[in-house]
Chain A
Amino acid sequence: MVKINLEKLAETAPELSVMKVLADAYGGSASAYEKTLSVTLKLLPGNLKALNNLLETGSSDYSVKIHGLKGALRTIGAFQLGLKAEELEKLSKSGAEDGLTELHSEFMREAEGLLEKLSLAAYEEKSETTLTYEQTRKRLLEIIPLMSEFISDYDCGGALKLIYPLKSASTGAEADELITLITDALERFDPLKAEEHLESLLTVISV
C-alpha cells in the first residue's frame, strides 16, 4: 500500500500547511490524512488528464469536474489551488473562454507540481507476507466469500481490509491484475465494479 511521509511532505510542500491541516482538519488523525493523500495521489493524474480533455473538447462537464477537484484539493489542505479551481468553475459556468484557458494552464502547472511533491513523499509500505503461490490462492478462496458479504452490504472499506494484505503476494498474472482492479474499485468506492472483478477472480483461481 502506498503511504505518505507527512514530515517530508511538510518540508517539500509548504503550500499545504501539512501539520496545521493535520491538527485542525483531521484532529491529529495522521492515518485519516495519509489515506486521503494517498487516494489523491492515485486519482489526481487521471482527473487532471480528464480535465484537459474536457477543456479541449469544450465540454460543459468541465465545470462539474473542476468542482470535484476543488473539493478534493481543499480536503488535503491545498487551499490556494482550491481557490484557483473555484475561479475556474465560475469562469466555466459563465462561458468566459479566454480567461478560462489561461487560468487552466496555470492551474495545471501548479497541480502537477503538487502531484510531484506528493509522489516524492510517497513510499510503498513493505508487506510482511511470505505466502507461497498456493498459500495465496488458498487464502483468496477463504476471503472471497467474506469480501462478497461486505460488498453486498456496500462496505468497500471492510472488503478492502481483507484483500490489502494480499496485494503484494502473487498467484499468477491474471489473478494479480484482477486483485489490482478490485482494490482500485474499492478505493473508488465502487462496490458493483469490485463485485464484478471479484467474480472473475474466483473463476480464475478456482481453475
Chain B
Amino acid sequence: MYNIEELEKSDKFNSAEAVRNFKTDREYFTALDNFRKDAPLYLRGYTASVIINRPEEQTTFLADAEKIREALTTLEMKESLSYLADLELAVATEDTKLMSDGLLQFYGEMEILTKQVSAAYIKPAPKQEKKEEKKKEEKKEKSGTGAKPTIIAVDDSPEILTAITGMLEDEYRVIALTDGVTAISAAKKLYPSLFILDISMPHMNGIELARRLRSLGGDSPAPILFLTGDAERNTVVKALKQGGNEYILKPVEKDILLSRVRKWVKGAARLQSKK
C-alpha cells in the first residue's frame, strides 16, 4: 500500500496520471512495489568500456534499457527517460566517457526515485508482518540460502546443462531440467534465487516458460536470465517483455555466466533481506 498524498508530492513523476495506466489501485501499487525492488538494480553490473567495446553486451544493454523505459513510462516517471536517451546516445557514438557519466547519473536518478516511492510506502500491520516473516524464513530454508543459493536451469540439451552445472556448482546448487513443465513444479517447491532458461525448446519455449513462472506470483519472483543461441533482436525484446531480466548468448563462457549469475543472485538476496 502507498500513501497517495505522499506520492503526489514528488516532482519527478505524476502519480495522478500514472494510476490511470492501471486497471486498479492495487495494480498500480504492485507496479510501485516492483519498481522499489528493481530500480536499485537497473543497469547495474554494466561497465562503460565493456558496453562500448563488445557488441553482444550492447544488445543486452539496449534490451535492458528498453524494458526500463517501458516501466518508467507506465509509472509516468518521464523526466527520468532523458537519462536513458543519454546512455543510448553514448552507445551510438561509442563514447566511453559519456557512457560512464551517464551510468552514474542514471543510478543517482533511480536512487532519488526509489527514495520518493519508499517514503510513500505503508508497511503492513504487525500481525501480518509476523506471518510474512514466517513465510520468508520457510522460503529461505527451502531455497537453501543458508547453504548455497539454488538456481533452476532449463535447456533441452543435457550437454549444455552439464556445462552450466559444472561452471556454477562450486557456488550454487544447480537444479538442471530439460523441460518447462517439470521446471514449474520445481519452482513451486524450491523458491530458487535465479532461473536460467534456454529460449528455443520444444513443447514449451523459454519465453512461454518465463511467462508462466512470472504468473506463479509470490512476493519476490526470482530473476530470469535467458541463455540462448538466438541473437535476433525481436526475440530478445519479446523474451525480456515476458519477465526476463537479462539475455546472454551461447556458447556461454564461465566467467561471463558466473559474473551475471552473481550479480542477479546477490541483488535478489539483498532485496529479500530488505523486506
B176 touches A156 (CB 8 A): yes
Given A74-B229, A157-B165, A27:B254 Cβ within 8 A? yes
A71 touches B157 (CB 8 A): yes
Query: Which one of B55-63, B111-119, B167-175 contacts A?
Result: B167-175
A64 touches B202 (CB 8 A): yes
B158 touches A153 (CB 8 A): no
* CB of B128 to closest CB in A, whole Å: 30
A190 touches B178 (CB 8 A): yes
* CB of A96 to closest CB in B, whole Å: 20
Q: In the complex, what distance in Å separates the CA atom of A74 from the CA atom of B159?
A: 10
A75 touches B175 (CB 8 A): no
B190 touches A75 (CB 8 A): no
- Cβ-neighbour of B158 out of A43, A154, A191 (below 8 A): A43
Q: In the complex, what distance in Å separates the CA atom of A147 from the CA atom of B167?
A: 23
Query: Which one of A32-40, A107-115, A123-131, A198-206 contacts B?
Result: A32-40
* CB of B35 to closest CB in A, whole Å: 32
- Cβ-neighbour of B159 out of A39, A153, A190 (below 8 A): A39
- Cβ-neighbour of B178 out of A74, A153, A189 (below 8 A): A189
Residue of B nearest to A82 (CB): B251
B160 touches A71 (CB 8 A): yes
Q: Is B16 located at the chain interface by the 8 A CB criterion?
A: no
- Cβ-neighbour of A27 out of B189, B251, B255 (below 8 A): B255
Q: In the complex, what distance in Å separates the CA atom of A183 from the CA atom of B253?
A: 27
Q: Total number of A-B contacts with CB less than 8 angstroms?
A: 100
B250 touches A74 (CB 8 A): yes
Most chain B CB neighbours (cut-off 10 Å) among A27, A154, A187, A191: A154
Q: In the complex, which residues of chain A have a beta carbon less than 8 angstroms from the beta carbon of B108?
A: none
* CB of B254 to closest CB in A, whole Å: 4
Q: Is A169 located at the chain interface by the 8 A CB criterion?
A: no
* CB of B154 to closest CB in A, whole Å: 9
Q: In the complex, which residues of chain A have a beta carbon less than 8 angstroms from the beta carbon of B169?
A: 157
Q: Is B166 located at the chain interface by the 8 A CB criterion?
A: yes
- Cβ-neighbour of A36 out of B159, B175, B189, B190 (below 8 A): B159
Q: Is B235 located at the chain interface by the 8 A CB criterion?
A: no
Residue of A nearest to B156 (CB): A68
B159 touches A40 (CB 8 A): yes
Q: In the complex, what distance in Å separates the CA atom of A117 from the CA atom of B255?
A: 28
A23-36 Cβ-contact flags toward B at 8 Å (1 or 0): 01111010111011
Q: Is B65 located at the chain interface by the 8 A CB criterion?
A: no
* CB of A143 to closest CB in B, whole Å: 19
B178 touches A157 (CB 8 A): no
Q: Is A155 located at the chain interface by the 8 A CB criterion?
A: yes
**Interface residues, chain A, CB within 8 Å of chain B?**
24-27, 29, 31-33, 35-36, 39-40, 43, 61, 64, 67-68, 70-72, 74-76, 153-157, 187-192
Other A-B pairs, 8, CB within 8 Å; known A24-B253, A27-B255, A67-B200? A33-B163, A71-B157, A71-B159, A153-B190, A157-B176, A188-B178, A190-B178, A192-B182
Cβ-closest 9 pairs across A and B: A32-B166, A27-B254, A72-B159, A154-B186, A74-B251, A36-B163, A39-B162, A189-B176, A36-B162
**Interface residues, chain B, CB within 8 Å of chain A?**
152, 155-163, 165-167, 169, 173-178, 182, 185-186, 189-190, 198, 200, 202, 229, 250-255, 258
